[in-house]
Chain A
Amino acid sequence: MSKQLVNIINNNFKIPISYSLLDKEINSKEVSDIPFTRWPNRMPCFEVNLYIISQLREGRSRRVKGGTLRTYAYNISHLIHFCYKNNINFSSLNDNYFTLFINNLIMDKDGLGQKIRSNNQVNTIGRQCINFLFYFSFIYGLEDFIGEGIKFKIKVKELKYHKTMEGRKPLILYYWSHPRAVQC
């Protein structure tokens, strides 16, 4: 069974953009190089694919074999692996599972006992997965799945950081963080 969970659809194909009531037809856009995600048992991963398309609509790059979208898909594929290994759905995730997921990412080691990925890489994966879980809760209308507060199954916190660029005012950017997971 192939381990690769993400493959890129190279062919050009049209996706519907909007429906025109006047012309009574669908306006479409031709796209290519879209990452397609699967579960390890080769079944298509419905939710992640939807997330990827939503990010495509927000204008994320597809240049050079999938671009940003491919990076997103690869980052989320870690969560897919985790859920499949533990035999749970995305909707069964909670604080404990998420912490375990992040700890697993930190503790992953290669044959020589060295860490596979850096702490920054784990941060990126974790934040991407949190963004995906927000989208997941939107798809199914789960009101107490992920958010800031006690009632949520996965409790996250919004933090801000200043991005400084030479000759410009510092930008204030916000991101979601999971306080219980050490890194994220």
Chain B
Amino acid sequence: MMIHERNINSLKSINILLTKIIKNPNNHINDTYINKSLKSQGGLASYKNDELNIFPCSLNSQKSVANETLDNGYSSLNDLRISALNAIKNASSPSPKINKSTKEGLKNKVTELENDITLLEQRNLLLSEFVLDLTQKIRLISTCNKEGLESELGFILKEVKEKNNFINRG
């Protein structure tokens, strides 16, 4: 019973640790122990950290505890592990060099500019439609009588604000 409870608490702590790693992978880039443990399921099960109350156990025990306690069972824990591993990998890989003096730098520059153009085209499409939407709303307001105008205007302004936020978020 004691060991089972300990495993449950340990699993909860592992969950918290993995979400922390996904949010801030930069803090764990140099931690070789956690990097090694994240590479395999068995490695994660045998991970030990006294400060965070994480104790090692066998993979089978971890799977059965995860299936009992987590919503989607062990698969959700495994997904978290893989995302954490990827997050650390992405954070540690150096950003591509962009310059005009080397062939590789120029290639990266072209890729970056192409991505920029695509984003601007997307934004342009959304803004074009937004302009059309606004003109239609102006037409709608022009047909309203004085009583309906105020409430209609309130609704429209809220919608316009939300759409503007939506477009700016991208």
Our verdict on whether A and B bind, yes or no, reads yes
Binary B-proximity of A26-53 (CB < 8 A = 1, otherwise 0): 1010000010100000001010011001
Closest-by-CB residue of A relative to B155 is: A21
How far in angstroms is the closest Cβ of chain A from B18? 27
Q: Contact: A25 with B122, CB < 8 Å?
A: no
The verdict on B125 contacting chain A, using a C-beta distance below 8 Å, is yes
In A46-88, the 8 Å CB interface with B consists of 46, 49-50, 53
Q: Contact: A46 with B128, CB < 8 Å?
A: yes
Question: In the complex, what distance in Å separates the CA atom of A25 from the CA atom of B166?
Answer: 9
Q: Contact: B124 with A11, CB < 8 Å?
A: no
Chain B residues whose CB sits within 8 angstroms of the CB of A15 once the complex forms: 125-126, 129
Q: Contact: A36 with B125, CB < 8 Å?
A: yes
Closest-by-CB residue of B relative to A47 is: B128
> Given A19-B162, A21-B155, A26-B166, does the pair A49, B122 have CB atoms closer than 8 Å?
no
Q: Contact: A50 with B118, CB < 8 Å?
A: no
Q: Contact: B122 with A11, CB < 8 Å?
A: yes
Counting chain B residues whose Cβ lies within 8 A of the other chain, the interface size class is 20 to 34
The verdict on A16 contacting chain B, using a C-beta distance below 8 Å, is yes
How far in angstroms is the closest Cβ of chain B from A77? 16
Q: Contact: A16 with B121, CB < 8 Å?
A: no
Closest-by-CB residue of A relative to B125 is: A49
Chain B residues whose CB sits within 8 angstroms of the CB of A50 once the complex forms: 128-129, 132
CB-contact partner of A24 in B119, B126, B139, B158, under 8 A: B158
The verdict on B163 contacting chain A, using a C-beta distance below 8 Å, is yes
How far in angstroms is the closest Cβ of chain A from B162? 5
The verdict on B159 contacting chain A, using a C-beta distance below 8 Å, is yes
Closest-by-CB residue of A relative to B166 is: A26
Question: In the complex, what distance in Å separates the CA atom of A11 from the CA atom of B123?
Answer: 12
Q: Contact: B162 with A44, CB < 8 Å?
A: no
Question: In the complex, what distance in Å separates the CA atom of A65 from the CA atom of B122?
Answer: 16
Closest-by-CB residue of B relative to A28 is: B166
Q: Contact: B118 with A11, CB < 8 Å?
A: yes
Q: Contact: B162 with A9, CB < 8 Å?
A: no
CB-contact partner of B139 in A36, A49, A141, under 8 A: A141
Closest 8 CB pairs of A and B: A19-B159, A26-B166, A36-B121, A13-B122, A44-B124, A49-B128, A46-B128, A11-B118
